[in-house]
Structure 1
Amino acid sequence: MRYVILDVYPSDRVDYVLAELNNWFRLLAGKDAIGVELRVVKKYEIGRVIVGVPNPLVKYLRSAIVIVGRSNGTALVTVKVSGTMRKALAIASSVQYLFHEFQNM
């Protein structure tokens, strides 16, 4: 299992982004994604999300991130991909939110 740390802007669109991400992920992965769901490990209030995905399917998730990030006025960026949940949680809490300049506008 790999853990992908994502930043979403605006932060109120996190649920919409996760739904779109799951749809595109399943479309791109095809039969490899049968019986696989993206696992949301943790959502942060600022717009950061940690998503768990099986190792062989990470490439499809990263492709889906690019597609969803370019649609409907939503920005979506991969912060880091980690191999363990513990490390992903540590990175997510220590790395600064990438869209922090836009939050106070």
Structure 2
Amino acid sequence: MNAKKINTSHCPRGLLKSNIFMANNSRKCNLIESDFLYFCILKDMRVELKIEGLSCGHCVNAVTTILNEMKGVENAMVSLPDLAFVEFDENAVSLEELKKAINDSEIYKVL
């Protein structure tokens, strides 16, 4: 596991007095207790998508809505000129499904 030590305040259940480790920078995690340590294990995946066709605030809102309405998407943030940051549960939705949802709009295209 690629883990790093973090401050317990970054963990949703951060009231622990032992060491907390996290798989990456996400603050959403499941807590697992071993004999000596607590681990904060990432439950969501984070991706950055480059999107063609974003030109205004309406475009940003449209793509944000497409992504946030998908089952398994925890959070989507879209910004000009061409980026979307998406946190999702890979057990509920795949990266390919995210891309397909955007591409199916026929206005925007994931590069």
Question: TM-score when scaled to structure 1?
Answer: 0.47
Query: Which is bigger in relative contact order (C-alpha 8 A, separation at least 6)?
Result: 1
Larger proportion of strand: 2
Greater Cα radius of gyration, structure 1 or 2:
2
Question: TM-score when scaled to structure 2?
Answer: 0.45
